[in-house]
Amino acid sequence: MKENERHLGMTHMNMDHDMKGMDHSQMSHHDMAGMAMGPGHDHQDMSNMDMSHMDMDMGDGHMMHMGNLKRKFWVSLILTIPVILMPPMMGMTLPFQWIFPGSDWVVAILGTVLFIYGGAPFFSGAKAEIQMKRPAMMTLISMGVGVAYIYSIYAVIANNLFHVTPTVNNFFWELSTLIVIMLLGHWIEMNTVMNAGSAVEALGKLLPQDAHVVDNQGNTTDVQLSDLQVGQTVAIRAGEQVPADALILDGSSDINESLVTGESKAIRKTIGDRVIGGSVNGTGTITAKVTGTGDSGYLAQVMKLIKDAQNSKSKSENLADRVAGWLFYAALFAGILAFIVWLTVADLAVALPVAVAVFVIACPHALGLAVPLVVSRSTALAAQNGLLIRNRNAMEQVKKIKFALMDKTGTLTMGEFKVNHLVSFDAQHSEDDVLSLMASLEKGSSHPLATGILTAAKGKDLTFAAATDTRQETGMGQFGTIADTTYGVVSVNYLDQHHLDYDHEQFTKFAAEGNSISYLVAGDAVLGLVAQGDQIKPAAATLVASLKQQGITPVMLTGDNQETATKVAASVGIDDVQARLLPEDKERLVQQYQKDGKVLFIGDGVNDAPSLARADIGTAIGSGTDVAIESADIILVSSDPADVIQFLDLARATHRKMTENLWWGAGYNLIAIPLAAGVLAPIGFLLNPMAGAVVMSLSTIIVAINAMTLKIKTVA
């Protein structure tokens, strides 16, 4: 939550029980990628997951088992080796080829098995595309495979039974390599899920077998992780793994969250802080209340995030399908036209091989790998660098981004407040009384401002009074009753709205120092104030400078006071500042800026949820497990603003590689189809299918190499 937005009416959102907008009990096995993580399943279940048992979409709505896909690829590859070695390759006899009496029939049998077994998923996908009247990649592949098989069987029969002259060349070599390469492309696409989830798998394996549950009498009992429930209290000893997402009730320790957030430095956690299941406890012993297990825990959310991202087709993938659709019609037209023309100027013996060559050469070998290879590389790089990409289409919006709207607290600043000024305005209340009353109202809150007040009160060993009827009032602040008197911890907005008198010069002075100011009120009386300072994140200025270099205008939107916002903005290089905003004000401003260009919004994913959802690219800084998951397109797990720069660079590089690969993949077909049809026949050139196959292989290799050169820049 952001400073003063809480005072301005945003209710505290407790991540221990409020998983806003996500009903995990309704997740299907598809939602969790076949991982069997329904209610009651814990993190330990995930450590035993077989990632090979995922499903993939083999055409519109047709699912294929990941294990079957992998098996189909290897079986097809093994069958392809003798197909390549035995027959004359496209009419050419090479030194390493193995030819013996009956080898053509052996190849025909192997080719038939390949056609039926390896080609089955493509035929199924093509059927779905045709039924939807949208021929695309599967239809183009099926046409090439089908024509190659039928003509090759004809060639074997014609050569071996009827002994025709000249010998008819078969296309079993082309058929087998096409099937293997296409299966490889889809396998690579599925491996993206496993690559992206590798860190999460490692985390799951580190989870302990049991947890130390503490009852109301303080007795400790070890229970299996599968029996651990939300709301139970657990003891986490030094050196142990945290068994589940939890809220610290007692004790403090340095927690290593490197496998979860990518942050190598241990993080100091104390009462009121949250710990993530799978992180490693340091030297201290802590007692914590379980807030998430199984499908409601952080690990489950990340796994769902990865599955959702993998299932969402990007625009580039859709473009690849559209290109394949265009090529299908182009090849169909060119093949039929070539057949008619050559039948007219020559005879059937010439026309039929030319038409078949057109259909076979049109097969999208490189095109089928163009996008999956880049997506695989990009997703793996993102996961390795703490970038969780929920919506891949967001990456393709980056090149159009004109404004970067960002929150202040927790995004540009650390969100760790320290009390710099404590003032009492009432003779009957000392400064310690003011601090004690404010801490009593804020007890139990994890809000950054509340944490600063509580830390200061504990540092002075102040006693906390029993506050009843504590509540958050919209547009007001934090209120509660202590000793029959209603007190409130409010912002300056509350004082202005209720026309309460306060020292404006004093406020301006403290705010100009970069402080966020909270007032203690009782009825119409302003009893005192606390001014707290926050630290700017080291990478904030680097982020702003990088945005400007890329032609993106940075804008700060914050609920804090204007003076503090201006000071922070100036220190990081932001000129456009909008302060004292409600969450709905931020969303309105996002829409306003969108009238002039695409908007990237950067926030913490809690109070900023409406803006994250509204923006063209919503980027959540932080490893929150609730609203960020549902609202943002991109999650920056390590909470480092520099990761925004990495995301922008990776998105641009990914789009560039996809475009290059699509041109390489489609370019081969655009050139090869007319050449195979014989457009240069008048000058004596007719593309030999063998030459076409070689060019195809070269195009595929170029596409693969180009994808693997994708890298992510490291921000110093």
- CATH number of the domain enclosing 248: 2.70.150.10
What domain range is 512 assigned to? Answer: 418-533
Q: What is the DSSP letter of 115?
A: I
Q: Classify 241 in phi/psi space as left (phi over 0), alpha (psi -120 to 50) or beta.
A: beta
Task: Give the residue with greater pLDDT, 169 vs 485.
Answer: 485
pLDDT given at position 473: 67
Q: How far apart are CA 68 and CA 73, in angstroms?
A: 9
Cα-Cα-Cα-Cα dihedral of 630, 56, 667, 350, to 10°? -160
pLDDT in tens, 689-712: 656 656 766 777 788 888 888 987
Judged against a pLDDT cut of 70, whether residue 517 lies above it is answered with yes
Which of 652, 678, 697 is where one domain is finished? 652
Domain-located, residue 55: no
Which of 632, 652, 672 is where one domain is finished? 652
Is residue 665 located within the same domain as residue 590? no
Is residue 129 located within the same domain as residue 72? yes
Is residue 390 located within the same domain as residue 372? no
Q: How far apart are CA 79 and CA 643, in angstroms?
A: 46
Cβ neighbours of residue 277 closer than 8 Å, sequence gap 6 or more: 43, 207, 242, 243, 244, 245, 246, 292, 293, 297, 298, 299
| Total tally of structural domains belonging to the chain | 4
pLDDT given at position 291: 87
Exposure string over 2-35, b if 16+ CB within 10 A, otherwise e: bbbbbbbbbeebebbeebeebebeebeeebbbbb
Tokens standing for 427?
A: 């003779």
Domain-located, residue 16: no
What average pLDDT does this structure show over 79-85?
Answer: 89
CB 687 within 8 A of CB 360: no
Domain-located, residue 354: yes
What burial class does residue 91 get, using C-beta atoms within 10 Å of its C-beta: 0-12 exposed, 13-18 middle, 19+ buried? middle
Judged against a pLDDT cut of 90, whether residue 157 lies above it is answered with yes
Domain-located, residue 57: no
Is residue 220 located within the same domain as residue 144? no
Is residue 328 located within the same domain as residue 406? no
pLDDT given at position 47: 35
What average pLDDT does this structure show over 71-79?
Answer: 93
What burial class does residue 400 get, using C-beta atoms within 10 Å of its C-beta: 0-12 exposed, 13-18 middle, 19+ buried? exposed
pLDDT in tens, 596-652: 999 999 987 556 778 888 899 988 876 444 554 567 788 887 778 888 999 999 999
Task: Give the residue with greater pLDDT, 19 vs 301.
Answer: 301
Domain-located, residue 290: yes
Tokens standing for 5?
A: 């937005």
Task: Give the residue with greater pLDDT, 186 vs 354.
Answer: 354
Q: What is the DSSP letter of 446?
A: -
Is residue 468 located within the same domain as residue 552? no
Report the range of poorest mean pLDDT among 59-63, 289-293, 375-379: 59-63
Please identify which residue in the block is written with the tokens 């926030």: 603
Is residue 549 located within the same domain as residue 643? yes
The separation between CA 389 and the C-alpha centre of its own chain, rounded to angstroms, equals 2
Reduced to 3 states, what is the DSSP secondary structure of residue 101?
coil
pLDDT given at position 630: 62
- CATH number of the domain enclosing 447: 3.40.1110.10
Question: What confidence category does residue 131 fall into, taking pLDDT thresholds of 50, 70 and 90?
Answer: very high
Share of the chain above pLDDT 70, in %: 76
Amino acid type, 62: H
Helical segments of 170-280, H only: 172-196, 198-206, 258-261
The separation between CA 400 and the C-alpha centre of its own chain, rounded to angstroms, equals 20
Amino acid type, 701: I
What average pLDDT does this structure show over 44-51?
Answer: 36
- CATH number of the domain enclosing 613: 3.40.50.1000
pLDDT given at position 190: 60
Judged against a pLDDT cut of 50, whether residue 322 lies above it is answered with yes
pLDDT given at position 62: 41
Radius of gyration over every alpha carbon of the chain, rounded to an integer in angstroms: 32
pLDDT given at position 277: 80
Is residue 395 located within the same domain as residue 543? yes
pLDDT given at position 214: 92
pLDDT given at position 299: 57
Domain-located, residue 56: no
pLDDT given at position 603: 84
Please report which helix (H) or strand (E) contains residue 479, including its range.
strand 477-482
pLDDT given at position 315: 64
pLDDT in tens, 332-363: 999 999 999 999 999 888 888 888 888 877 87
Q: How far apart are CA 281 and CA 208, in angstroms?
A: 12
Judged against a pLDDT cut of 90, whether residue 97 lies above it is answered with no
Is residue 87 located within the same domain as residue 184? yes
Reduced to 3 states, what is the DSSP secondary structure of residue 251?
coil
Report the range of poorest mean pLDDT among 375-384, 498-507, 689-698: 689-698
Amino acid type, 251: G
Q: How far apart are CA 546 and CA 551, in angstroms?
A: 9
Evaluate the omega torsion of the peptide bond into residue 166 and state whether it is cis, within 30 degrees of 0: yes
pLDDT given at position 238: 85
Please report which helix (H) or strand (E) contains residue 287, including its range.
strand 286-292
Is residue 545 located within the same domain as residue 646? yes
Reduced to 3 states, what is the DSSP secondary structure of residue 485?
strand
Domain-located, residue 40: no
Query: Whose CA is closest to 111, among 182, 184, 177, 181?
Result: 177
Task: Give the residue with greater pLDDT, 107 vs 608.
Answer: 107
Mean pLDDT of the chain: 78
Is residue 102 located within the same domain as residue 175? yes
What average pLDDT does this structure show over 92-100?
Answer: 64
CB 288 within 8 A of CB 228: no
pLDDT given at position 714: 63
pLDDT in tens, 653-703: 998 998 898 888 888 888 888 988 999 988 888 876 656 656 766 777 788
Task: Give the residue with greater pLDDT, 152 vs 22.
Answer: 152
What average pLDDT does this structure show over 6-17?
Answer: 34
Q: How far apart are CA 427 and CA 424, in angstroms?
A: 8
Is residue 284 located within the same domain as residue 220? yes
What average pLDDT does this structure show over 168-181?
Answer: 84
Which of 533, 561, 587 is where one domain is finished? 533
pLDDT given at position 297: 63
Judged against a pLDDT cut of 70, whether residue 372 lies above it is answered with yes
Task: Give the residue with greater pLDDT, 448 vs 555.
Answer: 555
What average pLDDT does this structure show over 511-529?
Answer: 91
Q: How far apart are CA 186 and CA 192, in angstroms?
A: 10
pLDDT in tens, 561-585: 888 889 889 989 999 999 888 777 8
Cβ neighbours of residue 281 closer than 8 Å, sequence gap 6 or more: 236, 237, 238, 239, 240, 241, 242, 253, 255, 275
Residues annotated as part of the active site: 407
- The two beta strands, 468-473 and 477-482, are antiparallel
Domain-located, residue 512: yes
